[in-house]
Amino acid sequence: MKTKLLLLLLLANFTFYAQTNLVPNGGFEKWASATVLSDWTTQNNIAQNTADYWEGFNSARLSFTNSALIPKITTQVSLTAGVTYVVKFKYKYLSSNYNGSHPIVLNISKNGSSTTLSTSYFATNNNWTAVETTFTPDQNLSYNLSISLNTLDNIGFNAIVDHVQIYVKGTEQYTLIPDLSFEKNLIALGHDSGPTDGKVLTANISTLTSLNITSNSNAVGLVKDLTGIQDFTALTLLNCQGQQLTTLDLTKNTALVTLNCQNNLLTNLNISKNSSLTTIICNNNKLTNLDVSEKLALTNLQCTSNKLISLDVLKNTALITLLCDKNSLTSLDISKLIALVTLDCSANLLTSLDASKNIALTSLYCTDNSLTSVNVKNGNNKAFYWNSIYHLSFSGNKDLKCITVDDIVYSNKNWTGNKESGATYALACDGRYTAIPDPRFHLELINLGLDSGNFSGKVLTANISSLKTLDVSSKNITDLTGIEDFTELTSLDCSKNKLSSIDISKNIALTTLNCSYNYTIDFLDVSNNINLKILSCHSLKIRDLNLKNNLKLTQLTCSYNALTSLEIPHNPDFNYLDCSNNRLAQIDVSKNTKLTYFDCSTNKLTNLDVSNNGSLTTFYCNSNNLFNLNVKNGNNLRLSKRNFIDNPNLTCINVDAFSTSSWGPSKDPKAFYNSNCSGENTPYTLIPDPAFEQKLIDIGVDTDGKNGKVITTNISSLKSLDVSSSNITNLTGIEDFTSLTYLDCGSNKISNLNLTQNTVLTTLFCPKNDLEGLSLYKNTFLTYLDCNTNRLKGLNVSYNTALTYLNVSNNSIFNDFQDLYVALNTALTNLNCSYNKLTTLDITRNIALTTFDCSNNLLRTLNANKNSALVTFICNNNKLERLEVTNNVALATFICNDNKLDYLDVTKNVMLNKFDCQYNNLRYLNLKNGNNKNFDMTYSNFANNTLTCINVDDENYSNANWSDRKDAKTVYSSNCATLGVEDSVFEKAVVYPNPTKDQVHINNIVLEKANVYNSLGQLVKSFTFSNGESNNAISLSGLPKGFYYVYLINGDAASAKKIIVE
């Protein structure tokens, strides 16, 4: 009862004598300039300090330089005689030379008054120090209050001053702090003085702008009640995370800008009056409601791991970060948050999510919801950080079948692993599908990124309807059903397939069509394709081609068909026509005056007139039955390519005068130009291999029949040649293909290949031949070389420094391929030398390698430490005893099974997902790379009968998912004993001296090997013993001081002994 009465009296006293600070601008918050302090007089080196302060955002800096310039600040304070006042201020020395020679001086005095206060204070550290004293004046005057620096040794120093107060003693206002830990925190932070009494001076806290009481940082216990926070009225930042708060009322803290109250037990958070908040972090609480609708300045909201069932952020248009994962939200409307950069709404109950308006988004997680609809078509998908640390994930939504995106090709290429396998990226998720019955056609659409990886026999219509260009050539497609829904297609290449029909009647936007080399198509209807400009339909079986509606056509290739008639559209811009190898008896091109290329060779023409085609530069009419030919177009000088031969009934050719002396080789010998024709012989290249020549004839390069030769001009400018799978044994003649950049002669029977004249080659395919040697010293432009499955014994590529791809695999079937030197090929990104008999290989300079396969060789050592770009590393079935991959941080696939490895550490390979190390001699295996759950166990196996323990991320997960990927006696553990063995294995072994500086003796045990590992488990030395002696010695000289483990090995038995190196 007495206590209550005292409290009531105390409160009444506070009400009557409210504590008032009589010092104007006592917190030094008002400055007219950096050196002019409002309401104070300054002398000598006084400046505003914004870097360090006790309250607010400023303090006053006093700098002492010499005894003639004493720094001093002075203000006027009106005081009443006989009243006792409390005088306070805080100071902090910025210089290290605080001592008894450098006082800070407080003075209160006034002329006409006999009472004065003059006290010196000496700092003992560089921390904020509080000064408190009292003063009773004898007059009613305005007293001078001053604070200055002084010195007794004339050595300069600096100090800052803040929070100057004078108020009537006994009028102090207190704020109750009932939570003991809260008060202890305030004491530790210097805002209260001990001992604890359940209260704090209100003046000490009312001007504070920030308060940090995180976890148990001040070692005073966790706070359960933050009562008293209401009087921290100037707070802009409050960090009370990691306590045990259940409620938090901040309605009086209206200046709050930043709030961090995460990791508490909050069920209620009252921030209804805190309209200035820009950051709210309230993760890991028990909140069921959070109202931020009026927090219009909010940019960062984190409310992860609560019990929220709804969250309204429509008015929070300034939000940049929103983390609301691990709640029970059933809906989330973010349509107004155009500034949003990061959103994590994973592990909720959301059924739909529309981020199409969030154009600034770069990070989005919506995993583990109940989503059936997601729209991220915001026009800025490429801004998502997908390539290093994944910042985009839709996985864990099994009912999500379609995701709306900007670009399906981009998303399928870059976001493949960011969704469930059954989900598809689409431009519009409207539920309409197009049937794609041909699995090869469907596969190519998947490869092009137009569909996901599921062979469902259909594709989202929205994914294809707006596509402009489609190339599905050379894919063995038999049925192009579905092409009708590619309604905006302007270019289609479906050549070199196995189509028997094609319907493009719905593809009216087509401007370019190539359907060549579909040998069984016998009908082609392009009557609806009125926008067609380029048509290539050679090597079909069509007998008729109606082009009456194709008035925009400018180029037509319809060679190698069965056409008996052809009517060319009267388009004045028509300029290219190849109708060779048909059955045409007549053709009229008189209206096509811009024709530059015209090939009508190998038909049944009897009369031909090109006298109106003055733009012709190429004209072939050979191998017809011509009786009359008129080439007199007034511009024969431009006709650089022509052929009139193999027309046995043609005796006279009408030409310009120029032609009579320069076109001799273009006609049969008995034919003449007007009269007295002459000309030079056509140069030929010998082609002795009949199969080679037949191939050249088949592809239209050799046009004069099978005669063991080809016109050199027909081949000298050719850039690409594919003669693969043609039963060729001799490639003589290839030397005159001097312009070749691409050559494919694979799958033949070639034993010798001379490419010394083909100096501009960049791509060479010559696999599956009988080559015993390959000289490439002249081919310095080569970037791609595939010579696998030959009879090579070695390969010199030291001149081919531009190579990025090299495949020399499988060359030891008939001979022993033992020699490969690639040190100069520093541009290599892909190297395959598998299935040979290499015993050594140096790749230390091939730092650009991303894919490397040296499997099935005889390698005993391999250094891949410099190859940090490696993504795929395959070295299985060798004789490797050591392999270090800690530097190969990009490694995703690592196959090293069937070697002799005894130690393997992949803890640094955080991208690893395919890993096979079975059938080695492993005694130590550490898989603890933080990425175990992403391992693809279809390609991963760790079975080694020498292993007793495998270090993993999570032994429960590994046991549940990997139980069949190890030996039965091997265990998974997140903390295997060092090196995986116990010291008790070899009890009789004697190891001494220990500690040692150099030599260590190992007695009473016959050893095969001794490996030395440092405390991190890294191999630092290795010793092999073959003498059968039971007393051996090893040298540890050169090793740094510390703990090491000597791993003793004899057969299948092993033991680790700890050694100290001094």
Q: Do residues 332 and 268 both lie within one domain? A: no
Look at residue 8 in the predicted model and tell me its pLDDT.
Answer: 37
Is 313's pLDDT higher than 60? yes
Q: Where are the beta strands (DSSP E) in 441-511?
A: 458-460, 469-471, 491-493
- Residue 175 is encoded by which pair of tokens? 């704020």
Of 789, 786, 782, nearest in space to 749 by CA: 789
C-alpha–C-alpha distance, residues 314 and 334, integer Å: 6
Contacts of 363 (CB under 8 A, 6+ apart): 341, 342, 343, 344, 384, 385, 391, 392
78-87, 165-174, 1001-1010 — most confident range: 78-87
Does residue 1054 lie in a domain region? Answer: yes
Q: How far is CA 1054 from CA 919, 921, 948, 1008, 1026, in A?
A: 18, 12, 11, 10, 17
C-alpha–C-alpha distance, residues 309 and 294, integer Å: 19
- Residue 407 is encoded by which pair of tokens? 């670009």
Q: Using CB atoms within 10 Å of the CB of residue 372, give its burial: 0 to 12 exposed, 13 to 18 middle, 19+ buried.
A: middle
Confidence of residue 388 (pLDDT cuts 50, 70, 90): very low
Domain boundary among 434, 468, 485: 434
Q: Do residues 59 and 112 both lie within one domain? A: yes
Helix (H, G, I), strand (E, B) or coil at 852: strand
Does residue 108 lie in a domain region? Answer: yes
- The residue range of the domain holding 995 is 983-1061
Is 764's pLDDT higher than 90? yes
Q: Is 158 left (phi over 0), alpha (psi -120 to 50) or beta?
A: beta
**No. of helices (H) and no. of strands (E), the chain:** 9, 67
Question: Scanning the structure block, which residue is given the tokens 């941080």?
Answer: 889
Does residue 349 lie in a domain region? Answer: yes
Is 959's pLDDT higher than 90? no
Helix (H, G, I), strand (E, B) or coil at 905: strand
Of 480, 485, 489, nearest in space to 439 by CA: 480
**Do the Cβ atoms of 147 and 73 come closer than 8 Å?**
yes
Distance from chain centroid for Cα 521: 45
Residue range 786-818, pLDDT digits in tens: 999 999 988 999 999 999 999 999 998 777 888
Does residue 126 lie in a domain region? Answer: yes
Residue-by-residue DSSP string for 905-917: E-TT-TT--EEE-
Question: Residue 216 belongs to a domain with what CATH number?
Answer: 3.80.10.10
**Do the Cβ atoms of 950 and 971 come closer than 8 Å?**
yes
Give the pLDDT mean for 1020-1042: 86
Question: Residue 1052 belongs to a domain with what CATH number?
Answer: 2.60.40.3080
Domain boundary among 392, 414, 434: 434
Strands 1032-1035, 999-1003: pairing kind: antiparallel
Is 554's pLDDT higher than 90? yes
* Helix (H), strand (E) at residue 663: none
Report field, pTM of the whole predicted structure over 0.75: no
C-alpha–C-alpha distance, residues 109 and 97, integer Å: 30
Alpha helices in 272-391 (DSSP H): none
Q: Do residues 256 and 339 both lie within one domain? A: no
Give the pLDDT mean for 53-74: 89
Of 1013, 1039, 987, nearest in space to 924 by CA: 1013
Largest CA distance in the chain: 143
Look at residue 661 in the predicted model and tell me its pLDDT.
Answer: 60
- Residue 1051 is encoded by which pair of tokens? 């057969």
Confidence of residue 676 (pLDDT cuts 50, 70, 90): very low
Q: Do residues 252 and 215 both lie within one domain? A: yes
Question: 924 phi and psi, to 5 degrees?
Answer: -140, 125
Alpha helices in 35-188 (DSSP H): 180-188
Q: Do residues 46 and 138 both lie within one domain? A: yes
**Do the Cβ atoms of 555 and 576 come closer than 8 Å?**
yes
Residue 31 DSSP code: B
Question: Residue 101 belongs to a domain with what CATH number?
Answer: 2.60.120.260
Q: Do residues 152 and 223 both lie within one domain? A: no
Give the pLDDT mean for 586-606: 93
Alpha helices in 834-969 (DSSP H): 955-961
Q: Do residues 141 and 218 both lie within one domain? A: no
Q: Do residues 127 and 204 both lie within one domain? A: no
Strands 618-620, 174-176: pairing kind: unpaired
Q: Do residues 160 and 186 both lie within one domain? A: no
Helix (H, G, I), strand (E, B) or coil at 736: helix
Does residue 1056 lie in a domain region? Answer: yes
In this structure, the number of other CB atoms found within 10 A of the CB of residue 301 comes to 23
Look at residue 476 in the predicted model and tell me its pLDDT.
Answer: 96
Q: State the amino acid at position 232 in one-letter form.
A: F
Confidence of residue 551 (pLDDT cuts 50, 70, 90): very high
Does residue 110 lie in a domain region? Answer: yes
Mean pLDDT, the chain, as a whole number? 89
Residue range 914-946, pLDDT digits in tens: 999 999 999 999 999 999 999 998 888 899 988
Q: Do residues 211 and 111 both lie within one domain? A: no
Q: Do residues 209 and 328 both lie within one domain? A: no
- Residue 804 is encoded by which pair of tokens? 């990025």
Look at residue 17 in the predicted model and tell me its pLDDT.
Answer: 44
Domain boundary among 400, 434, 468: 434
Q: Is 931 left (phi over 0), alpha (psi -120 to 50) or beta?
A: alpha
Lowest mean pLDDT among 42-51, 165-174, 856-865: 165-174
Contacts of 442 (CB under 8 A, 6+ apart): 436, 451, 455, 457, 459
Give the pLDDT mean for 896-919: 94
Does residue 648 lie in a domain region? Answer: no
Strands 41-43, 129-135: pairing kind: unpaired
Q: 535-565 as b/e, with b when 16 or more CB fall inside 10 Å? A: bbbbbbebeebebeebebbbbbbbbbbebee
Residue range 128-149, pLDDT digits in tens: 888 989 999 999 999 999 999 9
Q: How many structural domains compose the chain?
A: 4
- Residue 790 is encoded by which pair of tokens? 């030959």
Is 4's pLDDT higher than 50? no
Residue 636 DSSP code: G
Look at residue 979 in the predicted model and tell me its pLDDT.
Answer: 41
Question: 381 phi and psi, to 5 degrees?
Answer: -60, -30
Does residue 921 lie in a domain region? Answer: no
Residue range 256-294, pLDDT digits in tens: 999 999 999 999 999 999 999 999 999 999 999 999 999
Q: Do residues 57 and 126 both lie within one domain? A: yes
Look at residue 130 in the predicted model and tell me its pLDDT.
Answer: 87
Question: Scanning the structure block, which residue is given the tokens 């990025």?
Answer: 804
**Do the Cβ atoms of 432 and 452 come closer than 8 Å?**
no
Residues in the chain: 1062
